Structure 1
Amino acid sequence: MQRTNATTLTPVSFILNGVPGLEDMHIWISLPFCSMYIVAMVGNCGLLYLIRYEDSLHKPMYFFLAMLSFTDIIMCSSTLPNTLGIFWFNLKEIDFNACLTQMFFIHTFTGMESGVLMLMALDRYVAICYPLRYATILTNPIIANAGFITFLRGVILVIPFAFLTKRLPYCRGNVIPHTYCDHMSVAKVSCGNVKINAVYGLMVALLIGGFDILCITVSYTMILRAVVKLSSADARQKAFGTCTAHICAIVFSYTPAFFSFFTHRFGGHRIPHSLHIIMANIYLLLPPTMNPIVYGVKTKQIRDCVIRFFVASKDTKSHNI
């Protein structure tokens, strides 16, 4: 431990314990986590490649999807390599500043994930309710500015986490019962008053998650009203069918988030801490894993591009032979 002044103790590093109580099963727990991470990286990198090089995908909906894929890559990569190092090689030590950096990336890009899902809901609202003005409303500069503002929102709200965490005295030790540096998991190791951390963390969750969920709810309420007014059943099915993949992405993103949020506050003593840790990892892994699969299955344009890509690759190999 390194003393910074007369009253404050700042650790040189933290020890991440992994999943407390399940240390003997770390190898088995790592297998699904590693598999999900591989699928997430391949799927999201594949989507970014397709959207970059396929002219038919140069549309607002797919630009927002590219933002989501990029966010997913950063979000899961900020924790999984470190988590697998703990599970496989017992590499539990993390530098104090590296811990704060990891905390920043985790919370910034989980906020970015929520914000991009909100932007995608607004995109579907414009596409269905104002189809003739879709291209003029969602221009490339508007999309870029919306993405930048969403990212900036996360950065501005998350930066105080580092300062609030750094000010705390860590006289109880430096062992964190987690696989990564979550804000409140680090703060609870402290022997100081963490009430400000808890209140500010809740405020950020409401400002980001609460606002985004409200916008998504309003968008889909307006979409449903517009779809119901369509004359034919086929038109209604086609219009709402364009939202299916996005609705699945919302479910995969917010379900584990809500589980972690409510169990921490209302069921913390009845639910094993190991389950909290596993769900916290799933919260960061499930959306990046499932989003490219859902969009690949549910979106015809992406399916067609994937088929053309594999056919072209096969023809190129045959020609070379």
Structure 2
Amino acid sequence: MSSMLSSNSSSSSFLLTGFPGLEWAHHWISIPVFTVYLAAILGNATIIHIVRTDPSLHQPMYYFLAMLASTDLGLCVSTMPTVLGVLWLDFCSIHLYACVFQLYVVHSFSLMESAMLFAMAYDRFVAITNPLRYPTMLTSSRVVKITVVLGLQSTMLIIPPGLRLLWFSYCHHNTLSHSYCLHQDMIRLSCSNTQFNSLYALTVILLLMGSDFLFILLSYVMIFHSVLTIASHKEQLKALNTCVSHILAVLCFYIPVLGLSIVHRFARHSSPIIHIVMGNVYILFPPLMNPIIYSIKTQQIRRAIIRIISLRQVR
């Protein structure tokens, strides 16, 4: 394949990157990568199944958890074919249309994950600061409306920059930095005017992910202030314990997002391995860790998993 792409973007293809210099070890590297994918998919599918089938978990907190698991599942499924295609089959070529569709899905699910973490913070805020009104403030219908609004917001805002990518001319080298497609990686290869895409992407990140994170912080400031007014130390610990899982999930998501953003914007000339590792951590770490965190720290989820395992052993 020529290293120069045709100015006709509709016929352009790109090369996905495995682990440069370690191509001989791709099959070995694929073992832990596939294991993480499999664990993440099984873990999040289990969370969704438990919430769907256990009537005792039909509460706002667990509905949001199921949506978070669905988002993590989407991130895994959207990137798994190209990542494993590179590592298993050395299949590195991807067409422009397929690449744009993949980055649209990846970024949509990323925004949705941030939105779900914000919704879960709001759920904890209402449950702890206003427990008497919690059942009336977060009804099932209201949870559905919140989820639909956040989902539409996350998917619709990615459309404009994605469509523009289809009309760009790509005249630089055609090698992407990861084994899946990202918006910031695509505009780096374009010789068209990418100012709108760059500013738009930065605005969306600041307005959505940035505001989500700030609202989460504000929620916990108010939660901690409310908890400190509780006289009993035991009740304080009980209230805070319901937030531990969510706090860990927030850290598992935002730290890799921040790390990947820093690498792309300020460490472009660093080792390609750093870009690859950060890209895989960004995609795989939250989906892997969230089911583990909630299984360990949430009694209702842990009991449901144990009950499922016990029933299968009996059968």
Both structures adopt the same fold (TM-score exceeding 0.5): yes
What one-letter code is carried by the residue in structure 2 that aligns with 1:239?
Answer: A
Letter in 2 for 1:274: I
1:19 corresponds in structure 2 to: 19
The SS at the match of 1:265 is helix
**1:233-252 alignment to 2 at 5 Å?**
233-252=233-252
The whole-number CA distance in structure 2 between the counterparts of 1:307 and 1:238 is 23
Q: Which residue of 2 aligns with 1:262?
A: 262
Residues 7, 51 of structure 1: alpha-carbon distance in 2 compared, 3 angstrom cutoff: closer
Consecutive unaligned residues of structure 1, counting only runs of 5 or more, are none
Aligned to 1:199: 199
Q: Deviations over 1:252-311 (max 9, x none)?
A: 111111111123223333x31221122112111111101001100000111111222222
Q: Partners in 2 of 1:287 and 1:306 — Cα distance?
A: 20
1:147 and 2:147 matched:
yes
Are the counterparts in 1 of residues 9 and 166 from structure 2 also a CA contact under 8 Å?
no
Q: Which amino acid aligns with 1:311?
A: S
Q: What is residue 105 of structure 2 aligned with on the other side? A: 105
1:189-228: CA deviations, max 9, x gaps? 2222323222221111112210100110111011000011
Matched residue type, 1:312: L
User: Hey, what does 1:137 align to over in structure 2?
Assistant: 137
Q: Which residue does 1:224 correspond to in 2?
A: 224
Indicate the SS of the match to 1:176. Answer: coil
Describe how 1:177-216 pairs up with structure 2 within 5 A.
177-216=177-216
Q: Determine whether 1:65 maps to 2:62.
A: no
Match of 2:174 in 1: 174
| 1:28-60: CA deviation from partner (whole Å, max 9, x where unpaired) | 332222111111111111111111111111111
TM-score normalised to the size of structure 2?
A: 0.94
CA distance in 2, matches of 1:266, 1:309: 47
In structure 2, the CA distance between the partners of 1:207 and 1:21, relative to structure 1 (3 Å rule), is farther
**Identical columns (%):** 41
Deviations 1:223-244 (A, max 9, x none): 0000111001100000000001
1:161 match: secondary structure: helix
One-letter code aligned to 2:115: G
Partner of 1:302: 301
Cα deviation 1:144-179 (Å, max 9, x = unaligned) = 111111111111210112122122111335332321
CA distance in 2, matches of 1:266, 1:173: 20
TM-superposed deviation, 1:98: 1.2
Flag the 1:191–1:21 CA change in 2: closer, same or farther, 3 A. Answer: farther
Residue 86 (structure 1) shift = 0.6
Name the residue aligned to 1:48.
48
SS of the residue 2:172 aligns to: coil
Q: Distance in 2 between matches of 1:258 and 1:21?
A: 26
State the 1:107 CA deviation.
Answer: 0.4
* Residue-pair matches, total: 311
Whole-angstrom CA distance in 1 between matches of 2:313 and 2:48:
21
State the shift of 1:9 in Å: 4.5
Q: Give the whole-Å Cα distance in 1 for the aligned partners of 2:268 and 2:173.
A: 22
The 1:202/1:290 distance shift into structure 2, 3 A limit, reads: same
Is residue 9–residue 171 contact of structure 1 (8 Å, CA) maintained in 2? no
CA–CA separation in structure 1 for the residues paired with 2:21 and 2:200? 30
CA contact (8 A) 2:249 2:286 kept: yes
Mapped to 2, the partners of 1:192 and 1:19 lie a distance apart of 29
Q: Distance in 1 between matches of 2:227 and 2:94?
A: 52
Instruction: Assess if the C-alpha contact under 8 Å between 2:19 and 2:26 holds in 1.
Output: yes
Give yes or no for contact 1:22–1:274 (8 Å, CA) kept in 2. no
* Contact residue 11 and residue 170 of structure 1 kept, 8 A: no
Q: Which amino acid is 2:73 matched to?
A: I
Residues 154-163 or 291-300, more deviating: 154-163
Task: Give the CA deviation at 1:7.
Answer: 6.8
RMSD: 1.8
Name the SS of the counterpart of 2:45 in structure 1.
helix
The answer to whether the 8 A contact 1:36-1:289 is kept is yes
Q: Is the 8 A contact 2:170 2:192 kept in 1?
A: yes
Give the CA deviation at 1:94: 1.6
Unaligned runs of 5+ in 2: none
Name the counterpart of 2:272. 273
Distance in 2 (CA, whole Å) between partners of 1:249 and 1:93 is 34
The residue aligned with 1:160 is 160
Q: 1:303 to 1:17 in 2, by over 3 A?
A: closer
